[in-house]
Amino acid sequence: MQGNGNQFGLAYLDASEVGAYLEDHNGHVLSVIGFGREIALPETACAPLWIDIPVLGGKESSFEVWSSDAPVAACEYRDMRGASDGKVLFGSVALEQHAGDTLEKLAAQAYMQIFGFIDHFGFRNLLRVWHYFPQINEDENGLERYRGFNVGRHASFVANGRSIGEEDVPAASALGSNSGSLVIYFMASRLPGKAVENPRQVSAYHYPQMFGPSSPIFVRAMSASLGGQYCFFISGTASIVGYETLHQGNTEKQVAETLLNIRTLLQQAPHYDPARGRMLLKVYLRHIEDLPMVRGKVQAEFGTACRAVYLHSNICRSDLLVEIEGAYFDDAS
């Protein structure tokens, strides 16, 4: 592995970069997630996950690679595979939805497996979870699929004795893919991180029932020290104030509101210093044509050195046109 000072971290890479990066980090890769078109990749402890979401900005694929300075070992338990460097545990679950299954049932099953996996390896604290599944805004048995997903997630938190409050709830994102299974990947740790909420927003787990029979379960951000490095994971963030979507139909105003929400979260990140740390973003756009405008606003906020990946995806509320997630790393603190 090339020593560039990063103890633990994340890279967003293009198809032309990912092969060499994985070779350089041989034995140190925790997780590889590919978006867009599939390509052949060097072998890693865990097979790459593929998410069928088109990459915007003239790229056919984009890769999210998590790695560690410490050696990484594969972790297998029941049907699940993951990888750990001893400090964090990455894992994933991909479940096919067969005829007669509901997404609610699948979500509950996925979380039962996740809790079983992290408890088995002694990493009981979920820090960050990513959810992708197709037809997120479509109806299933009279309920929007995202809302059905929330019912299943909620049920498995309760069934596993996890509290629905800051101590047990991870940062997360939930986005629509174009095809494939319910794919969830996650990062867990032995010690809890510190949950961060946004004073401009009602905690998602306290959303009123107008957004579905069970509330979503995520915190707005998670602050953690991992491998001697300060990390701040920002959940999927959108144009929501209180619990309501603002600026329906206006992407430009939604991005501005989203960036204000992110700024508000970063004020609570004790070590945030844009001049010193590294920020990486995934930006989800419902409409391709919004790319130049949104990219302009994101670059104005974070500068052109900030690595941002733009993805064409449906967002979990049908009136949201843009959502942004982030990860900040400070190697010095």
Residues of this chain that interact with ligand 3EB (CB under 6 A) are 131, 172-174, 204, 216, 218, 235-236, 238, 240, 316
Of residues 61 and 313, the one with the C-beta less far from ligand 3EB: 313
Q: Which residue is nearest to ligand 3EB (CB)?
A: 236
Of residues 17 and 319, the one with the C-beta less far from ligand 3EB: 319
Of residues 44 and 173, the one with the C-beta less far from ligand 3EB: 173
CB of 245 to ligand 3EB, least distance (A): 9
Whose structure tokens read 């990062």? 187
Point out which residues pair with 5 in neighbouring strands.
Answer: none
Exposure class string for 115-149: b at 16+ Cβ within 10 A, else e: bebbeeeebbbbbbbbbbbbbbbeebeebbbbbbb
CB of 229 to ligand 3EB, least distance (A): 24
Of residues 126 and 238, the one with the C-beta less far from ligand 3EB: 238
CB of 173 to ligand 3EB, least distance (A): 5
Point out which residues pair with 230 in neighbouring strands.
Answer: 225, 330
Point out which residues pair with 9 in neighbouring strands.
Answer: 67
Point out which residues pair with 144 in neighbouring strands.
Answer: 139
Whose structure tokens read 């809890």? 192
Q: Which is nearest to 179 in space by CA: 283, 96, 80, 282? A: 96
Helices (H), the chain: 15-24, 103-121, 145-159, 251-266, 291-302
Yes or no: say if 222 and 195 are a contact pair by the CB < 8 Å rule.
yes
Distance in angstroms (rounded) separating the CA atoms of residues 195 and 163: 13
Which of 64, 144, 257, 323 is catalytic? The answer is: 323
Of residues 181 and 318, the one with the C-beta less far from ligand 3EB: 318
**What would you report as the CA-atom Rg of the chain, rounded to the nearest whole angstrom?**
18
CB of 282 to ligand 3EB, least distance (A): 12
* Residue 273 neighbours by CB distance under 10 Å: 12
CB of 83 to ligand 3EB, least distance (A): 23
Yes or no: say if 222 and 128 are a contact pair by the CB < 8 Å rule.
yes
Of residues 88 and 136, the one with the C-beta less far from ligand 3EB: 136
Distance in angstroms (rounded) separating the CA atoms of residues 214 and 148: 8
Distance in angstroms (rounded) separating the CA atoms of residues 253 and 173: 21
CB of 316 to ligand 3EB, least distance (A): 5
Distance in angstroms (rounded) separating the CA atoms of residues 16 and 21: 10
Of residues 202 and 291, the one with the C-beta less far from ligand 3EB: 202
Q: Please give the backbone phi and psi of residue 156, each rounded to the nearest 5 degrees, phi first.
A: -75, -30
CB of 49 to ligand 3EB, least distance (A): 17
Distance in angstroms (rounded) separating the CA atoms of residues 62 and 54: 9
Catalytic-residue membership of 144: no
Point out which residues pair with 80 in neighbouring strands.
Answer: 77
Catalytic residues: 323
